[in-house]
Structure 1
Amino acid sequence: MTSLPGGSDDTGSPAEPQPLVCARCRARAEGPQLTWTYSVEDGAGRYFCEACSRENLRAIEGRLDSGWW
């Protein structure tokens, strides 16, 4: 079972929101960032900051099935 950051713990009380951390450059952001990219790689979710997403856009698009473009 997978839960999103800021879900609840086993006691049912809300957990502390976890800051987002870029999987590439380790930049941190508090709360949701509309300009960040979310990817699932080898079954693990990863966030990428706006700068890393822009720098690697061609590689990101290259992995998409043709139905997405």
Structure 2
Amino acid sequence: MTTICTRCGAAREAEEEPALALAWVSERDRGGVRWLCLRCAREHTRDIEGRLPAEYW
């Protein structure tokens, strides 16, 4: 199964190096799952952290 980054369109293939595959970030949004590749996740870390519930901090 190929996973696609919702921001840049990069593809994660099933045979990709496991450490790189684990670096992808998933988020649930309106009942679906969206994926961010390593590069996009790093670029948008503040956006991701901003959606965490206050009790997390």
The TM tier, using the shorter chain, reads: 0.7 to 0.9
TM-score by length of 1: 0.69
Which protein has the bigger helix share?
2
Q: Can you give the 5+ residue segments of structure 1 that lack an aligned partner in the other structure? A: 1-17
Considering Cα pairs closer than 8 Å and 6+ residues apart, tell me whether 1 or 2 has the greater RCO: 2
Report what 1:49 is aligned to: 37
Q: Can you give the 5+ residue segments of structure 2 that lack an aligned partner in the other structure? A: none
**Could you tell me the percent identity over the aligned residues?**
40
Who wins on radius of gyration, i.e. which is larger?
1
Structure 1 runs of 4+ aligned residues shifted over 4 Å read: none
Which protein has the bigger strand share?
2
Aligned residues: CA RMSD? 1.2
TM-score by length of 2: 0.82
